[in-house]
């Protein structure tokens, strides 16, 4: 098994890369899915968040109000650190369990991709055989968040500021996928990276 960390800042197109790798046969373990699962209604994670941030972060149906929580934590490093201290260990445990389940049913020598936007922030990069970083200039990230997700520019910049910097992510990279070009460019680069991953997996 080859264990690969895949990361990139918000608006970098990491999810596009993840989908393309999945289509080629990679086993994808998505931290965003894990992050939703560990704070689902009735979970200890949600109870701890409500205790830490108050019942106002819950919707009337008992689910997490992500927008309200985002207003609290984005732009306040201390509050964000408090949230991460609750969720990151739970997400790590969920992803490890998902890896065990996926590899038990996989054929041959699987390539397991951990799709994690906050890989640099979590401190877990050293546990992977290699790290792929999807990279675009920060101004392109802002443009995409404004045009594709409807964020205000200030809100987009606050989201970027709450994540690791571009330089911090690139410092962890064994492989870089530049996603500042066209989708055809991205397809070609992902094909190259997938061929490299298959070679690495076969050599293990």
- The pLDDT value recorded for residue 106 is 67
The span from the CA of 200 to the CA of 197, in Å, is 5
pLDDT value at position 46? 97
CB 166 within 8 A of CB 40: no
Q: What is the pLDDT along the chain (204 residues), one digit of tens a residue?
A: 899 999 999 999 999 999 999 999 999 999 889 999 999 999 999 999 999 999 999 999 999 999 999 989 987 889 999 999 999 899 889 988 988 887 777 677 789 999 988 888 877 788 899 999 999 999 999 999 999 999 999 989 988 988 899 999 999 999 999 999 999 999 999 999 999 999 999 997
Q: Please compute, for residue 68, the number of CA atoms within 13 A of its CA located in the half-sphere on the CB side.
A: 13
**DSSP H or E run through 90:** helix 77-105
Q: What is the pLDDT of residue 109?
A: 79
In the CATH scheme, what is the code of domain 2-33+95-203?
Answer: 3.40.50.300
DSSP code of residue 55: G
Q: By the 8 A CB rule, do 41 and 117 touch?
A: no
């Amino acid at each position: 098994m080859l264990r690969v960390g895949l990361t990139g800042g918000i608006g970098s197109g990491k999810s596009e890369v993840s989908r393309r790798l999945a289509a080629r046969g990679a086993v994808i373990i998505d931290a965003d899915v894990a992050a939703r699962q560990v704070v689902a209604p009735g979970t200890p994670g949600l109870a701890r968040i409500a205790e830490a941030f108050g019942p106002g972060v819950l919707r009337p149906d008992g689910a997490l109000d992500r927008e309200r929580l985002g207003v609290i934590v984005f732009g306040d490093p201390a509050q964000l650190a408090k949230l991460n201290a609750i969720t990151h260990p739970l997400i790590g445990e969920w992803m490890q369990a998902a890896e065990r389940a996926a590899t038990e049913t996989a054929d041959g020598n699987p390539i397991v991709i951990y799709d994690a936007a906050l890989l640099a922030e979590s401190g877990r990069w050293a546990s992977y055989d290699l790290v792929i970083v999807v990279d675009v200039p920060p101004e392109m990230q802002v443009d995409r968040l404004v045009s594709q997700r409807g964020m205000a520019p200030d809100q987009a910049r606050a989201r970027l500021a709450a994540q690791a910097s571009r330089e911090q992510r690139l410092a962890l990279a064994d492989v870089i996928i530049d996603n500042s070009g066209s989708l055809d460019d991205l397809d070609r680069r992902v094909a190259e990276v997938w061929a490299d991953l298959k070679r690495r997996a076969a050599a293990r």
